[in-house]
C-alpha cells in the first residue's frame, strides 16, 4: 500500500507540475509548503497550550484565595475594606513586601540582590498592596518576544508570594493545600520559567533586563520561602536541579570575549538558589564535582605537557567563588551538611597532593582549591 501511495503521489506531481519547472523543483516546493503548514499548526498548538496553562493558573489562584482575585478584578467595597486593613498594619505586611521581589511596577527597580533602593521604601510600602490589587491578572503568552514569554510564569509566582504575604499579614485567608492537589499547574509554570531563564543565560548577547531580574527574584523568593517551598519546591525539585546543572555548564562553556559580567550574573543566581535548604546540598554536590574534575584534568594536562584550556580555566573561578560563599555560613554557623558525605569525601581525597602539584604552574587556582577545602573541613568538623 505504501509503495502504491508513493507511486500515485509521484504521478500526481508529474502531471500537475507547472511548465518551466522540473519535477524535483516542484516536489521540493510542495514539501516546503506542507512543512510550513505543519509549523503553523505547531505554533497554533503552542499558543493554545499556553492559553490553557494561563487559565489553569488563574483558576488555581482563585481556589487558593477567591477574595484576592475578585478584589483585583473589580475594586468594590470589599476591596476598599481590604486595602484599608492592609494600610492599617504596614509592619505586618508591607515590610515583607519590600523585600519579596514581587513588585513589578515600571518606576520600581531592583538591584542584583532583589532589594529595593533605600530612597523609595517608605513611599512604596503604602502603595504596594494597592498597586497589586489593582493589577490585572496575567498573562499574555501569545507574544513572540523571548523576553515577554517570561512574563506569564513570573506573574503567577509573584501572585502566589503576594497572597502568602497578605495572608500572613492577616488581611486575607488563603488555602495553600490547593497547591498539593493541583501541583501540575505549578510544576509547568516553574518549568516554563526555568526554561526561559536558561535560554536567556545561554544567549550569546546576554544582557540583564528588568524582567530577568524579576524572574530571578520571584524564583529565589519562592525557593527560600518555607511555607511555599514545602508545597512547590519539592514538587519541582528535579527541574530545579537540572536548572542548576544548566547554569553551571553555562558558566564553564561561555567563551565570548566580554563574558565576565554575564558570568557574574549567573554566579549570583547560583548563590541565591544555594541559600535554600532544599537545594543547598544538591548544588554543593554539583559544584564540588565540577571543580574536582577540572582540577584532575588540569593535573593530567600538566603531567602530559598538554595545552591548558584557558577559557575553561578562567571560567572555573566563578564556581569556586560560589562554593566559598555557600560554605562560609556553614563554617561559621556550624550547620552540618550531612546529606552528601560522599561528595565531600570525594572532593577532599588526595586534594592536598593535587594542590601541591598545581601550585607552581597555577598558584591562584591552587589557592582557591585550598580555601574551599578548609571551609569544607571546618563545616565537617563542626
- Looking at the predicted structure, is the pLDDT value of residue 144 above 80? no
* CA dist., res. 45 & res. 70, Å (int): 30
If you average pLDDT over residues 213-234, what whole number do you get? 83
- Taking the model in full, what pTM does it have? 0.68
Per the model's pLDDT, the better-predicted residue between 178 and 292 turns out to be: 292
Per the model's pLDDT, the better-predicted residue between 64 and 139 turns out to be: 64
If you average pLDDT over residues 166-184, what whole number do you get? 78
Q: What is the pLDDT of residue 72?
A: 59
Confidence class for position 153, pLDDT limits 50, 70, 90: confident
Q: What separation in angstroms does the CA of 275 have from each of 198, 243, 278, 330?
A: 20, 15, 9, 11
The DSSP secondary structure of 188-204, one letter per residue, reads HHHHHHHHHHHHHHT-T
Please give the angle made by the CA atoms of 337, 341 and 347, to the nearest 5 degrees. 105
Per the model's pLDDT, the better-predicted residue between 382 and 38 turns out to be: 38
- Beta-carbon contacts of 101 under 8 Å, excluding residues fewer than 6 positions away, are 110, 114, 158, 161, 214, 217, 218, 220, 221
- Beta-carbon contacts of 211 under 8 Å, excluding residues fewer than 6 positions away, are 147, 148, 150, 151, 154
Per the model's pLDDT, the better-predicted residue between 208 and 33 turns out to be: 33
Confidence class for position 81, pLDDT limits 50, 70, 90: very low
Q: What is the pLDDT of residue 199?
A: 85
Per the model's pLDDT, the better-predicted residue between 370 and 162 turns out to be: 370
- Looking at the predicted structure, is the pLDDT value of residue 333 above 60? no
Per the model's pLDDT, the better-predicted residue between 374 and 50 turns out to be: 374
Grid coordinates of 188? 509547568
Q: What is the pLDDT of residue 170?
A: 74
The per-residue pLDDT of the chain, averaged, comes to 75
Give the containing element (helix H, strand E) for 228.
helix 226-231
Q: What is the pLDDT of residue 148?
A: 60
If you average pLDDT over residues 179-183, what whole number do you get? 77
Per the model's pLDDT, the better-predicted residue between 65 and 311 turns out to be: 311
If you average pLDDT over residues 328-354, what whole number do you get? 67
Q: What is the pLDDT of residue 68?
A: 72
If you average pLDDT over residues 152-170, what whole number do you get? 84
Confidence class for position 207, pLDDT limits 50, 70, 90: low
Per-residue pLDDT tens for 272-314?
888 888 888 889 999 999 999 999 999 999 999 998 899 999 9
Q: What is the pLDDT of residue 70?
A: 65
The alpha carbon dihedral of 148, 150, 151, 152 has a sign of positive
Per-residue pLDDT tens for 13-37?
888 989 888 888 888 888 888 887 7
Q: What is the pLDDT of residue 105?
A: 37
Which of 164-168, 292-296, 378-382 bottoms out in mean pLDDT, i.e. has the lowest? 378-382
The DSSP secondary structure of 153-167, one letter per residue, reads HHHHHHHHHHHHHHH
Give me the residue label for grid cell 516546503.
32
Q: What is the pLDDT of residue 88?
A: 38
Map residue 119 onto helix, strand or coil: helix
If you average pLDDT over residues 196-215, what whole number do you get? 79
Per the model's pLDDT, the better-predicted residue between 360 and 71 turns out to be: 360
Per the model's pLDDT, the better-predicted residue between 186 and 104 turns out to be: 186
Amino acid at each position: 500500500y505504501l509503495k502504491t501511495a508513493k507511486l500515485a503521489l509521484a504521478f500526481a506531481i508529474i502531471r500537475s507540475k507547472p511548465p518551466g519547472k522540473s519535477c524535483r523543483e516542484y516536489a521540493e516546493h510542495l514539501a516546503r509548503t506542507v512543512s510550513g503548514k505543519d509549523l503553523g499548526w505547531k505554533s497554533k498548538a503552542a499558543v493554545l497550550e499556553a492559553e490553557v496553562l494561563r487559565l489553569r493558573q488563574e483558576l488555581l489562584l482563585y481556589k487558593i484565595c477567591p477574595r484576592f482575585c475578585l478584589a483585583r478584578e473589580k475594586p468594590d467595597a470589599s476591596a476598599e475594606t481590604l486595602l484599608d486593613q492592609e494600610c492599617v498594619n504596614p509592619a505586618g505586611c508591607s515590610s515583607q513586601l519590600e523585600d519579596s521581589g514581587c513588585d513589578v511596577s515600571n518606576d520600581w527597580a531592583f538591584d542584583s540582590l532583589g532589594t529595593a533602593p533605600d530612597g523609595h521604601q517608605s513611599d512604596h510600602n503604602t502603595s504596594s498592596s494597592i498597586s497589586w490589587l489593582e493589577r490585572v491578572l496575567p498573562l499574555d503568552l501569545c507574544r513572540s518576544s523571548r523576553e515577554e514569554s517570561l512574563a506569564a510564569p513570573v506573574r503567577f509566582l509573584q501572585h502566589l508570594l503576594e497572597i502568602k504575604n497578605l495572608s500572613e499579614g492577616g488581611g486575607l485567608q488563603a488555602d495553600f493545600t490547593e497547591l498539593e492537589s493541583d501541583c501540575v499547574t505549578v510544576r509547568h509554570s516553574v518549568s516554563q520559567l526555568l526554561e526561559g531563564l536558561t535560554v536567556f543565560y545561554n544567549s550569546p548577547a546576554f544582557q540583564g533586563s528588568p524582567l530577568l531580574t524579576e524572574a530571578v527574584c520571584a524564583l529565589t523568593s519562592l525557593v527560600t520561602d518555607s511555607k511555599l517551598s514545602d508545597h512547590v519546591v519539592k514538587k519541582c525539585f528535579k527541574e530545579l536541579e537540572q536548572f542548576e546543572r544548566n547554569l553551571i555548564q553555562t558558566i564553564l562553556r561561555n567563551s565570548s570575549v566580554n563574558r565576565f559580567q554575564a558570568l557574574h550574573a549567573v554566579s549570583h543566581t547560583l548563590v541565591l538558589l544555594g541559600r535554600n535548604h532544599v537545594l543547598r546540598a544538591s548544588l554543593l554536590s554539583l559544584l564540588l564535582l565540577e571543580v574536582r574534575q577540572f582540577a584532575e584534568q588540569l593535573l593530567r594536562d600538566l603531567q602530559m605537557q598538554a595545552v591548558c584550556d584557558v577559557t575553561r580555566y578562567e571560567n572555573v573561578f566563578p564556581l569556586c567563588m560560589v562554593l566559598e560563599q555557600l560554605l562560609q555560613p556553614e563554617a561559621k554557623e556550624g550547620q552540618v551538611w550531612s546529606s552528601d558525605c560522599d561528595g565531600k569525601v570525594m572532593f577532599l581525597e588526595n586534594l592536598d597532593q593535587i594542590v601541591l602539584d598545581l601550585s607552581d604552574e597555577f598558584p591562584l587556582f591552587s589557592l582557591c582549591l585550598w580555601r574551599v577545602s578548609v571551609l569544607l573541613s571546618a563545616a565537617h568538623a563542626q
